[in-house]
Amino acid sequence: MSIAADRLSDPAVRAFVTALNAQDRGAFQAALAPGATMSDDGTERDLADWTEREVFSSNGRMEVESEADGGRSLTALYSNDTWGAMRTRWAFTVEDGKVSRFETGQA
């Protein structure tokens, strides 16, 4: 059973997931705070490079399975054309209504 992006509890996380799934670069950038950072499996990554490779050029999408911490912690089936599908965890830091950091990795 998945949770539709428009039903996610945290508005900033909802905007992030909705933009990612729509492959909407403008909306995705708008969901991020200036200077936002991220890590993948515990390794710091360049956010622009990572999102281009793992999301936009490879048709990335998230099917959210569950949320916790007021919607700032997700478990999702993440898939893209490069890696296929994998169960992932996502933790978001939100400041002033925008995602300032996210950490993802295999669940």
**Size of the chain in residues:** 107
**What's the mean pLDDT in 57-85?**
97
CA angle (73 as vertex; 70, 76 as ends), nearest 5: 125
Res. 1: pLDDT tops 90: no
**What's the mean pLDDT in 75-82?**
97
**What CA dihedral angle connects 92, 29, 51 and 94, to 10 degrees?**
-10
CA angle (82 as vertex; 78, 87 as ends), nearest 5: 25
Domain range list for the chain: 5-106
**What's the mean pLDDT in 2-21?**
97
**What's the mean pLDDT in 37-59?**
97
**Paired strand residues for 78:** 62, 86
Topology annotation, domain 5-106? Nuclear Transport Factor 2; Chain: A, (3.10.450)
**What's the mean pLDDT in 65-91?**
97
Question: Which pair of structure tokens corresponds to residue 71?
Answer: 């919607």
